[in-house]
Structure 1
Amino acid sequence: MAELSGLPQSLQLVSDPKSRNKCIAKTYSQAGSLLFSEESFAAILLFKEKSYRCDTCFQRPSAISLKKCSGCGGYWYCNAECQTIHWKRGHKQLCRHFQAYSTSAEFRELQEHKKLDALLLSHTIARLSLLAQPYRPVTNTPGDILFSLLPHPSTGLAAPVICPVKPSPPSGLADLIYSRFGNNNFSIHSHFSSVGHGVFPTASRLFNHSCVPNAAAKYVWIPQKIVTMTAVALRDIQPGEEVCLITLPYLDPALVQTRPHILQISYGFVCDCPSCTDIRVVELPKVPSNPNDLTRIGKELREFVGVDASDAGVFSPPKLRDLPTGLRCVLREDYISFLSEVFSQSSHKGDHEIAIDSGMTLLALYLLIYPCNYPQIGMHLLELTKTTWNKRMSTRLTVAQDRSAKERVMRLLSSAQRVMEVYGPEGDVNGPWEEIDTLHKLLLVV
């Protein structure tokens, strides 16, 4: 199937000898452009979000309480409209049996991630049962595309027990679909905080993986609407260029040290993106434990990337392959974990000098590892902005010093906003955009 119905005119799915298919840009797309949009075929909330969010639109109402399904007691909705939508998309196939299923010993004994898989699989099969040809939709519908996805490289994966569905699915169908879950499902997030899991068959079939992608997935929820994934260009994309999504279905690109092995063992392919190719030829020495050596490495890393503590950073960093031998230890995951912990702890304790120093080093590392305009860079810049603002407000400064400190905050905030505007708002209406707006208002008066 080298053709997919419903694709925007700017994209084309073509055959590829290595990856089976790949998505090619037919027209020029500017950074921040919406490339693709798809409603979830099936979606579920994480357990911690249940009863706080609507199971249909994922909205988290602030002024009204959610209404519980009176039939099964296991789902919550904004109103009757959301309940009707969910009912027609498969809940009616599950409702009668859901309470007994969710309290059964077989379900309760599953690990939490297996319970989520079982619920999502139940919803997927319930949705398939409602389509025109039971359990085998017509060509190029999302259901048919789901069947065409590549299975996990491991064989013999047995599906967890699912909620009974009427009509009962054919023998082996649950295993057939479940074998495609691990490779293709997406984590649904709001401001990079996961709130659920979803099946988006066309996106899974359309976009290949890259650790340095030119596009990213984000999620939109609107009252009385199904959760929707959109793909956004992280940088300008030229005609003829392959469009690759960020690795959210797989793993965080910051896992530089282990990601090539995880991708090969868990997903059955060797990633040949520029980042993984560069890493394979780089030996990673151990991170020194001496505080003076750690301070020196942080300073040299900032200088190498071009990040200055008084400015906002450079957004065209050097390549990983050019990283000096003496700095290669910064690619180890224990170093990035160490930096993150120091930045987080010192920010909360009010140790602003340490927080800003470690935060700028972490920014340099993010710029080196993550793709251009990756949202995590913008989120980190926003945290740096807040820390720098707090230092300014808690320190006795001269008029000239305060003016310089304020300008520094403004530069960091401008950089954070510039990155975040490429990705755009997603998920919940509050979050980073509300914080950016608050900081702008504070800078006008203080």
Structure 2
Amino acid sequence: MVIFVPMTEEAVDCATGAAGEGSAESLISPSSRSASTSMGAVELVALEEGPATGVEGWSSCNFARLLRLQRKKSRGSERGGVVCHRQVYQRGRKRDEATRRGWKYGGGQLVAWKRHHQNMCKLFLPFTSSYDFVNAEKHTQLDSLLLSQTIAGHYLPFIDSPQKLASEATLLLSLLPHPDPLPTPPLPKSLNYLTNPISPQENLAKALSSRGTNNHWVVYSSELDPVAHAIYPSASRAFNHSCAPNAIPVYIYGDDHQGPKMQVRALERLEKGDEVTVPYIDPAQPYKVRQDVLMMTYGFVCRCPRCSIDQTLQTKIPRSPDSTSAFVALYPELIRLVFGDFPIPFEGLVELPSLHTRPLPDHLLLLKVDSHLPYLSGRFRDASHDQDHIIANETGNALLALYLTIYPPAYPVVGHHLLEMTKASWNHYLQVFAPDISSAPARDVLIRANVCLKLAEELIPTSQSTGDVLVDGAWESRAAVEMKMLRDLLDAEGR
């Protein structure tokens, strides 16, 4: 586990290299820093780690995207149902940030060719057309590709040198295997000898496979879209899971072609002695889904404060209603619970309340049925898209309140929702009131937009994040570009 220690000079000296070195309690590494925001002084947890040497292949976005790309035959990116790495990065093809920075500039393709292309590309056409691969579950197909790339990139070069192979394998094999691992996924025939239990490599594929499922992390873009899977051994050893986390991993893409770095950031003020916990899965998933996924993927039962509360509520949660109007009728009460008597335009709101570790009152438990959150988020999205301003405002308020009963206030989903609320409010003002701001309703809409944007600016990290938009020769996150544009527009209206 990781225990938080404020970054005094003495703590920095003793913390160097401590995280993830196998000790029962690891200190925060010395790159920790403080950030004062309107949400309070938040310590940023310092662990910053690139994909592990020897398992970088598990973090490559091309494999995570491979199965999705196979469905896009009209784009000409596959041959016989197979997508090769090299085809993903053709000139002119739209790239996500991981490929754009790591491949388009600075020779990333050459690095990848030397590491694994020369070993793997010739294997994929027959392998991905084979009976075993085609008839496997999608997650098994992904496991096959990830495992194959890891072996090709980091183990085949040393396969005739057991001493070097042992050194390469040590880092990943030091992680705990899944307590009940699935069978080793199918591999290209040329790699099958690695599954032979009497081989000198002692069934390397099985050993790697048993550690992949419960030690991988889903890598997200700045837009919170999953783009890859990666293994970060220090983080896997150091951070325990909680559905009510006080920290969260974010992923930083650089220009060093080494894959995205994980940076673990605090979600709240941490005190000396606090254990730093992160979410392995989305805390918004229903209790039973969370428990099933954590057991199947990681092999444990979660007993965090959030799950302890949710477990006691399971028998009280009603069945899903026949009509969604039953949900809507509870939204005013939910908003009052979260924001009290604060006026809906949110004028003067500088800090979001934290209710994610408190149980909902019994009369609001209908809002915890599995179908409710997808309904509400979809209703807000559709209303915003269709310019149904009244519904967008009402559902936006309710969704914000619901998120604050699920996530810590500084959780990225909350910040991005506030940005969406800002855009909805600006569109409302522009289409209904502009350029006249003299009426009370117009002022309320602008107040709401300003408050939501200010909170979003505090919560959404914009530095060192994945870039999605090219601005003045530099890549910036789409959220950062949108926030700057909205800030300029709102400031202009206020003058």
TM-score (norm 2): 0.74
Instruction: Decide whether aligned partners of structure 1 residues 229 and 163 sit closer, same or farther in structure 2, where only a CA change above 3 A counts.
Output: farther
| 1:386 match: secondary structure | helix
Aligned to 2:345: 310
The 1:213/1:112 distance shift into structure 2, 3 A limit, reads: same
CA-CA distance at 1:166 after TM superposition:
11
- CA shift, 1:39, in A, is 2.0
Q: CA deviation at 1:15?
A: 7.3
Q: What is aligned with 2:150?
A: 124
Q: Alignment partner for residue 137 of structure 1, among 166, 169, 177?
A: 166
After superposition, what is the alpha-carbon deviation per residue over 1:142-183, rounded to whole angstroms, capped at 9, x for unaligned? x42311222223245232224735995735321221122221
User: Is 1:275–2:306 an aligned residue pair?
Assistant: yes
Query: 1:432 pairs with 465, 479, 482, which one?
Result: 479
Q: Distance in 2 between matches of 1:155 and 1:379?
A: 36
CA gap of 1:273–1:104, structure 2 versus 1, over 3 A, is same
Sort the Cα spacing of 1:404 and 1:321 in 2 relative to 1 into closer, same or farther, 3 A: closer
List aligned pairs for 1:244-255, cutoff 5 A.
244-247=277-280, 251-255=281-285
Confirm or deny: 8 A CA contact 2:252 2:464 kept in the other structure: no
Residue 341 of structure 1: aligned partner? 378
Answer yes or no: is the 8 Å Cα contact 2:244–2:279 preserved in 1: yes
Q: Give 2:455's aligned amino acid.
A: S
Equivalent in 315, 327, 332 of residue 299 of structure 1 = 332
Q: Work out which of the residue numbers 267, 280, 302 in structure 2 matches 1:234.
A: 267
Partner of 2:176: 150
Q: Contact 1:219 / 1:427 at 8 angstroms: preserved in 2?
A: no
Question: Post-superposition shift, 1:404?
Answer: 3.1
Distance 1:354 1:313 in 2: 25
State the alpha-carbon separation in 1 of the partners of residues 481 and 189 from structure 2: 40
- In structure 2, relative to structure 1, the CA distance for the partners of 1:242 and 1:29 (3 Å cut) is farther
Give the 5 Å matches for 1:36-435.
36-40=47-51, 41-42=56-57, 43-44=59-60, 45=62, 46-47=65-66, 48=68, 65=92, 77-78=103-104, 81-126=107-152, 127-130=154-157, 133=162, 136-138=165-167, 143-155=169-181, 157-162=183-188, 164-165=190-191, 170=201, 172-190=203-221, 191-227=223-259, 228-247=261-280, 251-258=281-288, 259-282=290-313, 283-290=316-323, 293-306=326-339, 309-311=344-346, 315-318=352-355, 320-396=357-433, 399-401=438-440, 402-421=442-461, 425-426=465-466, 428=468, 429-435=476-482
Q: Which amino acid aligns with 2:337?
A: F
- Please say if residues 29 and 236 of structure 1, whose CA atoms lie closer than 8 Å, have aligned partners that are also in contact: no
Call closer, same or farther: CA 1:273–1:364 in 2, change over 3 Å.
same
Distance 1:382 1:10, change over 3 A: farther
Gaps of 5+ in 2: 3-13, 35-41, 71-76, 79-83, 95-101, 196-200, 469-475
Deviates more, 1:286-295 or 1:203-212: 286-295
Q: Distance in 2 between matches of 1:177 and 1:406?
A: 55
Shift of residue 213, structure 1, vs aligned partner: 1.6
Matched residue pairs, number?
Answer: 419
For the residues of structure 1 that align with 2:266 and 2:114, how far apart are their CA atoms? 33
| Cα deviation, residue 86, structure 1 | 1.5
Code of the residue aligned with 1:128 in structure 2: it is Y
User: Match for residue 72 of structure 1?
Assistant: none
- 2:39 matched residue in structure 1: none
Inter-CA distance 288–320: structure 2 relative to 1 (3 Å threshold):
farther
Q: Which amino acid aligns with 2:284?
A: A
Counterpart of 2:251, as a letter, is: Y
**1:258-280 CA-partner distances (Å, limit 9, x unpaired):** 21343235432121221111111
Equivalent AA in structure 1 for residue 390 of structure 2: E
Q: Is the 8 A contact 1:310 1:408 kept in 2?
A: yes
* C-alpha spacing 1:162/1:275, structure 2 compared with 1 (3 Å): farther
- Tell me the distance in 1 between the aligned counterparts of 2:20 and 2:234: 11
Shift of 1:90: 3.3
Match of 1:71 in 2: none
Shift of 1:8: 5.9
> Which amino acid in 1 is paired with 2:120?
L
The alpha-carbon distance between structure 1 residues 393 and 117, as it changes in their structure 2 partners (threshold 3 A), is: same
Distance apart, 1:352 and its partner CA: 1.2
| Offset at residue 208 of structure 1 (A) | 1.4
Check conservation: 1:346, 1:352, Cα contact below 8 A: yes
Query: In structure 1, the residue corresponding to 2:329 is in which secondary structure?
Result: helix
SS in 2 for 1:399: coil
Give the TM-score, by structure 1 length. Answer: 0.82
Structure 1 residue 302: Cα displacement: 0.9
SS at match of 2:408: coil
Residues 23/272 of structure 1: CA separation in 2 closer, same or farther (3 Å cut): farther
Instruction: Name the residue aligned to 1:9.
Output: 16
Root-mean-square deviation (CA), in Å? 3.6
Tell me the amino acid that sits aligned with residue 16 of structure 2: Q
Alpha-carbon distance in structure 2 between the residues aligned to 1:364 and 1:424: 29
Mapped partners of 2:322, 2:268: distance in 1: 38
| Contact in 2 for aligned 1:215/1:243 (Cα 8 Å) | yes
Offset of residue 391 of structure 1: 0.9
Alignment partners' CA distance in 2, 1:166 and 1:268? 27
Q: Secondary structure at the match of 1:252?
A: coil
Task: Name the CA shift for 1:278/1:427 in 2 (closer, same or farther; >3 Å).
Answer: farther
CA distance in 2, matches of 1:223, 1:12: 25
What is the identity, as a one-letter code, of the residue corresponding to 1:439? L
Which blocks of at least 5 consecutive residues in structure 1 are unaligned? 68-75
Q: Distance in 2 between matches of 1:403 and 1:354?
A: 19
SS at 2:371's partner residue? helix
